[in-house]
């Protein structure tokens, strides 16, 4: 039987139903019917997001992909950048050699940072008088006339987030293993990641100057994990080094160039630039500064750009030493000055034809792109440290990135050991049907700050019972979340012991009640309070003191040293010699 090949269609991140039908070459009524089957009520002018469109297209026999060409009307994601780079490589058009981008990975304390420092101090492109100042978290070295770009990623949040998302910033990884310690858990984690993503590696066996160094043991441990170095008949190159003593660094750089040659790294220098923000800050003198690693194209001074949702014109470009540059090609780390605001790490910087296009892209920016944070495991663990606490699931959407950060910051000040916020999703732009679906499956409340639900999302929320709350004042939003968290805090029962009585006689044993007499040994017995029955060391249970008499007269309390009679309500059968503990319980409602 012949296999049916699905027709492939490209769909933008947000598309009107009418346009969507045109892309599928189907009558708009067919598309609306299919949407209704999926419980989505949309008119021909309503917009649906990519996730919804992809499901409908699949049901109608199509295969979909995000239309990267229309990404000028929104922010490009890391995944889309990765896809663009792959397609560029496959096309083979206008490609020229580019320097390799290298990162150093390995277990903590195995010398990653020391190695970076040693390479930087001894091999940086040109030595400066008075030593080198590292201005940014990436730099370049020159070896045999070839340039190598190093990205300082040990423990770097940008890299961790990329690793979670399966996107690689580097072309080659140096796997550092200490000769005196061998393969450790973090080393294994890195090995698994590099193997899974097929990232070429160079093994650097560090600390060979240590008296207890055992290089052969390290090689054996690596071989056990299918990392077989060349001298053992494998295909992984290695270098034996001491980062501290500056031994073997030259050989390591040679190995990197060897691997880079095999990889045949190329890029299109003539296209509009695409890069990744690896650092971002506000400089008191220079304004908003972003450190960008250019991935393809050439970034030039005076160029209009958009980074995530932030636009601007490049006023000045600086290299890793802080020197002015006129342009930066592929694999070049560069400081960009001139953006309207500080972008986020991992935002994709795109060169635009003009500032008007950039502003339009910023305005049209919807729910796709890096404005949406898909929380990785590290962030999730950080926000919910104790898995036993009650969590309020929320989807948070705001108008711009700055608002998102402001709301996050204020909510971050709410501290509690018993309740916490679980961000199912955070993003910038309108509240769409995908947000509502996510809210439904995760039982989350959708909060919008200066962000409104689309018509389709509003209908879907009403049908599926998902709550959407929108605000124009940040503190009103925060107060609402605080109130909900306070309702979730378990009530605390505070117990106060009043006194003890030793039972001297049992006068009546009824069904569910007893009358007993005894002497108050400590504190006092109080009418209407709780009673606990103790026999020897054993707690037999509890009941209620419903009537208290002293000298056959009803009283409210009887103090220490006095005898009294009590009516006990409860199932426990009291005997002579038992001790009755009188105590008060109060339910206390906690606040944040």
| pLDDT top residue among 432 and 117 | 432
Q: What is the CATH number of the domain that holds 177?
A: 3.40.50.300
Note the pTM of the prediction, 2 decimals: 0.52
Q: In 3D, which of 100, 147, 122, 85 has the Cα closest to residue 319?
A: 147
Helix (H) or strand (E) holding 225: none
Q: Confidence class of residue 64 from pLDDT cuts 50, 70 and 90? A: confident
For the segment 127-139, what is each residue's pLDDT rounded down to a tens digit? 433 333 334 578 8
Least confident of 146-160, 204-218, 281-295: 146-160
- Nearest CA-CA partner of 548 in 484, 476, 498, 486: 498
Q: Which of 4-8, 140-144, 352-356 has the lowest mean pLDDT?
A: 352-356
Q: Does 81 fall in a domain?
A: no
Q: What is the pLDDT of residues 541-583, one digit of tens each?
A: 999 999 999 999 999 999 999 999 999 999 999 999 999 999 9
The pLDDT of residue 388 is 52
- Are 254 and 192 part of one and the same domain? yes
> Are 111 and 200 part of one and the same domain?
yes
pLDDT band at 51 (very low <50, low <70, confident <90, very high): confident
Residue 94 counted as domain residue: no
- Provide the phi-psi class of 163: left if phi over 0, else alpha when psi is between -120 and 50, else beta: alpha
Q: What is the pLDDT of residue 499?
A: 97
Residue 456 predicted with pLDDT over 60: yes
- pLDDT for 356 equals 60
Q: How far apart are CA 590 and CA 237, in angstroms?
A: 61
80 or 168, higher pLDDT? 80
B/e letters for 555-575, b = 16+ CB within 10 Å, e = fewer, are eebbeeeeebbbbbebebebe
Decide: 108 and 186 in contact? Cβ < 8 Å: yes
Residue 78 forms part of a structural domain: no
Q: Tell me: do 388 and 422 sit in the same domain.
A: yes
**How does the average pLDDT of the chain come out, rounded?**
83
Which of 510, 548, 514 lies closest to 533 in space, CA to CA? 514
Q: What is the pLDDT at residue 360?
A: 59
- pLDDT confidence of 328, banded at 50, 70, 90? very high
| Mean per-residue pLDDT, 139-150 | 88
- The answer as to whether 85 is a domain residue is no
Mark which of 71, 88, 114 sits at the end of a domain.
71
Q: What is the reported pLDDT for 132?
A: 32
* Domain boundary pick from 230, 264, 298: 264
Residues 401, 290 within the same domain: no
Structure tokens at 114: 């020391």
From 426, 461, 488, give the residue that closes a domain.
488
Q: Kindly state whether residue 357 falls inside one of the protein's structural domains.
A: no
- DSSP per residue, 178-210: ETTT---HHHHHHHHHHHHHT--EEEEEE-TTS
In this predicted structure, which of 65-74, 83-92, 101-110, 207-216 has the lowest mean pLDDT?
A: 65-74
With a cut of 90, say whether residue 331 has pLDDT above it.
yes
Closest CA to 344 of 365, 366, 312, 370: 370
Q: What's residue 100's pLDDT?
A: 94
State the residue range of the domain holding 66: 7-71
| Confidence band, pLDDT 50/70/90 cuts, at residue 91 | confident
Name which residue leads in pLDDT, 288 or 109: 288
Q: Can you tell me whether residue 22 is helix, strand or coil?
A: helix
pLDDT for the residue 398: 87
pLDDT value of position 363: 53
- Between residues 448 and 71, the one the model is more confident about: 448
Q: What is the mean pLDDT of residues 465-483?
A: 92
- Please answer whether residues 509 and 573 qualify as being in contact, where contact means their C-beta atoms are separated by less than 8 angstroms: yes
What is the arithmetic mean of pLDDT over 221-239? 90
Residue 83 counted as domain residue: no
Residue 505 shares a structural domain with residue 562? yes
Residue at token pair 């342009």: 327
Q: Could you tell me if 123 and 180 lie in one domain?
A: yes
Report the pLDDT averaged over residues 107-115: 76
Q: Which helix (H) or strand (E) holds 467?
A: none
pLDDT tens column, 497-556: 999 999 999 999 988 999 999 999 999 999 999 999 999 989 999 999 999 999 999 999
Residue 384 lies in a domain: yes
Is the dihedral angle over the CA atoms 226, 229, 235, 236 positive or is it negative?
Answer: positive
Is 77 contained in some domain? Answer: no
Which of 105-109, 150-154, 430-434, 470-474 has the lowest average pLDDT?
Answer: 150-154
Stretch 247-256: mean pLDDT: 92
Closest residue by Cα to residue 81 from 292, 349, 290: 349
pLDDT at 581: 97
Q: Are 139 and 323 in contact (CB under 8 A)?
A: no
List the one residue out of 13, 103, 65, 76 whose CA is nearest residue 296: 76
Rounded CA-CA distance 242/249 in Å is 8
Model confidence band, residue 382 (pLDDT cutoffs 50, 70, 90) = very low
For range 124-152, the mean pLDDT: 65
User: CB within 8 A of 125, min separation 6: which ones?
Assistant: 140, 141, 142, 147
Residues 6 or more apart whose Cβ sits within 8 Å of residue 111: 176, 178, 206, 207, 243, 244
Where residue 418 sits, what CATH number does that domain have? 3.40.50.10050
What integer pLDDT is reported at residue 136 of this predicted model? 53
Q: For the chain, what percent of residues have pLDDT higher than 90?
A: 40
Whole-number pLDDT of residue 4:
55
**Is residue 362 over pLDDT 80?**
no
pLDDT tens string 11-46: 877 788 999 999 999 999 999 999 888 888 888 888
- Claim to verify: residue 554 and residue 421 sit in the same structural domain: no
What's the pLDDT at 123? 58
Label residue 112 exposed, middle or buried (CB < 10 Å: 0-12, 13-18, 19+): buried
pLDDT at 14: 77
- Looking at the structure, tell me whether residues 47 and 108 fall in a common domain: no
Alpha-carbon gap, residue 64 to 181, rounded angstroms:
49
Q: What's the number of domains the chain is made of?
A: 5
Burial 375-405 (b: 16+ CB within 10 A, else e): beeebeeebeeeeebebbbbbbbbbbbebbe
What count of other Cβ atoms lies within 10 Å of the Cβ of residue 332? 26
Q: Which of 163-167, 220-224, 408-412, 440-444 has the lowest mean pLDDT?
A: 163-167
Cα dihedral 560, 561, 564, 567 sign: positive
Lowest mean pLDDT, pick from 115-129, 300-314, 358-372, 420-434: 358-372
Residues 54 and 107 reside in one and the same domain: no
| Same domain, yes or no: 45 and 169 | no
309: left (phi over 0), alpha (psi -120 to 50) or beta: alpha
Tell me, yes or no, whether 230 and 164 share the same domain. Answer: yes
| Residues 430 and 385 reside in one and the same domain | yes
Span 284-301, average pLDDT = 89
Task: Look at 277-291, 345-359, 390-404, 447-461 and tell me which has the smallest mean pLDDT.
Answer: 345-359
Q: What is the CATH number of the domain that holds 528?
A: 2.40.30.10
Model confidence band, residue 143 (pLDDT cutoffs 50, 70, 90): confident
DSSP letter string, 263-296: HT-EEETTSPPEEEEEEEEEETTTEEEEEEEEEE
Contact call for residues 306 and 361 (beta carbons, < 8 A): yes
The mean per-residue pLDDT over the stretch 356-375 comes to: 47
- Give the residue with greater pLDDT, 193 vs 252: 252
């Amino acid at each position: 039987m012949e296999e049916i090949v699905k027709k492939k269609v490209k769909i933008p991140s947000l598309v009107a139903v009418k346009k969507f039908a045109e892309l599928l070459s189907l009558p708009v009524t067919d598309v609306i019917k299919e949407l209704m089957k999926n419980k989505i009520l949309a008119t021909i002018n309503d917009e649906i997001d990519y996730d919804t469109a992809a499901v409908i297209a699949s049901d109608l026999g199509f295969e979909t992909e995000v239309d990267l060409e229309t990404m000028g009307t929104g922010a490009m994601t890391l995944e889309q950048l990765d896809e663009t780079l792959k397609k560029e490589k496959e096309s083979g058009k206008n490609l020229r050699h580019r320097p390799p981008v290298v990162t150093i990975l390995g277990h903590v304390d195995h010398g990653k940072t020391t190695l970076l420092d040693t390479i930087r101090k001894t091999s940086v492109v040109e030595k400066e008088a008075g030593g080198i100042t590292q201005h940014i978290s990436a730099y370049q070295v020159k070896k045999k006339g070839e340039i190598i770009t190093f990205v300082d990623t040990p423990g770097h949040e940008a890299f961790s987030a990329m690793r979670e998302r399966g996107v690689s910033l580097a072309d080659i990884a140096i796997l550092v293993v200490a000769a005196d310690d061998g393969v450790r858990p973090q080393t294994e984690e890195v090995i698994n990641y590099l193997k899974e993503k097929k990232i070429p590696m160079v093994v650097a066996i560090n600390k060979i100057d240590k008296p207890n160094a055992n290089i052969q043991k390290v090689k054996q441990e690596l071989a056990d994990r299918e990392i077989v170095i060349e001298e053992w008949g494998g295909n992984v190159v290695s270098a034996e080094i001491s980062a501290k003593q500056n031994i073997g660094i030259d050989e390591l750089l040679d190995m990197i160039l060897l691997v880079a040659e095999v990889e045949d790294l190329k890029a299109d220098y003539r296209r509009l630039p695409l890069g990744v923000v690896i650092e971002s800050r506000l400089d008191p003198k220079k304004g908003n500064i972003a450190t960008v690693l250019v991935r393809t194209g050439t970034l030039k001074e005076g160029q209009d750009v958009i980074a995530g949702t932030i636009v601007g014109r490049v006023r000045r470009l600086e290299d890793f030493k802080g020197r002015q540059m006129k342009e930066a090609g592929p694999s070049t780390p560069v400081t960009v000055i001139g953006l309207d605001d500080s972008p986020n790490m991992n935002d994709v910087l795109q060169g635009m034809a003009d500032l008007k296009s950039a502003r339009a892209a910023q305005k049209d920016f919807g729910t796709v792109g890096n404005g949406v944070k898909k929380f990785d495991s590290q962030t999730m663990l950080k926000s919910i440290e104790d898995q036993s606490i009650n969590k309020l699931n929320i989807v948070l959407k705001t108008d711009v990135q700055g608002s998102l950060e402001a709301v996050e910051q204020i909510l971050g000040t709410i501290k509690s050991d018993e309740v916490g916020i679980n961000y199912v999703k955070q993003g910038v732009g309108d509240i769409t049907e995908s947000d509502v679906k996510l809210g439904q499956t995760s039982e989350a409340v959708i909060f919008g700050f200066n962000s409104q639900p689309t018509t389709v999302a509003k209908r879907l929320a009403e049908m599926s019972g998902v709550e959407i709350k929108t605000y124009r004042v940040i503190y009103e939003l925060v107060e609402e979340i605080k109130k909900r968290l306070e309702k979730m805090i378990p009530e605390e029962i505070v117990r106060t012991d009043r006194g003890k009585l030793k039972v001297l006689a049992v006068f009546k044993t009824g069904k569910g009640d007893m009358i007993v007499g005894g002497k108050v040994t400590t504190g006092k017995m109080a009418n209407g309070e709780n009673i606990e029955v103790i026999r020897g060391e054993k707690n037999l249970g509890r009941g209620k003191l419903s009537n208290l008499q002293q000298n056959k007269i009803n009283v409210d309390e009887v103090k220490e040293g006095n005898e009294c009679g009590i009516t006990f309500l409860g199932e426990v059968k009291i005997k002579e010699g038992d001790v009755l503990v009188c105590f008060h319980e109060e339910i206390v409602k906690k606040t944040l």
